[in-house]
Structure 1
Amino acid sequence: MSMALVGMIAGMALGFAGYFGGFGAFLLVAALGAIGFVAGRFAEGDLELGDLFRTRDDRRDRRR
């Protein structure tokens, strides 16, 4: 599935949540979508748990 299609589906879900549920539902769907995105990246192996908790200086030192 292309990223454009995934983005379109996510946008439609946020639009429906905002229209039918109001701004609170929009924020809830956006937050759960972000959590799902991070969990998916973690499950695929593209993201390590330590990447979320490193400071900016640690990331610069790691790249060198």
Structure 2
Amino acid sequence: MRMAVLGLIVGMALGFAGYFGGFGAFLLVAALGAVGFIVGRFLDGDLEPGEFFRPRERGDRR
């Protein structure tokens, strides 16, 4: 599925949630959508669980 079509579908879902359920429903749908996106990336193999828990490398700060 093209990213533009996916963005359209997500935007429509958030719009309906905001219109019919209010701002709280809008935030809930957005948060669950983000969680679903991350889980989907894990299942596709694009992300590894260690990427979230690895300490960040710091550059030289002098």
TM-score (norm 1): 0.85
Q: Distance in 1 between matches of 2:31 and 2:52?
A: 16
Report the TM-score when normalising by structure 2. 0.88
Where does structure 1 differ by over 3 angstroms across 4 or more consecutive aligned residues?
none
The superposition leaves residues 2-54 of structure 1 with CA deviations (integer Å, 9 ceiling, x where unpaired) of 01100110000000000000000000000000000000000000000001112
1:55, distance to aligned residue in structure 2 (A): 2.7
| Structure 1, unaligned runs of 5 or more | none
In structure 2, runs of 5+ residues without a counterpart are none
Name 1:52's counterpart in structure 2. 52
In structure 2, C-alpha distance between the alignment counterparts of 1:7 and 1:22, rounded to whole Å: 21
Which structure dedicates a bigger proportion of its chain to helix?
1
**Could you tell me how far apart the structure 2 residues matched to 1:7 and 1:53 are?**
28
**Structure whose CA Rg is larger:** 2
For 1:26 and 1:53, the matched residues in 2 are separated by: 29
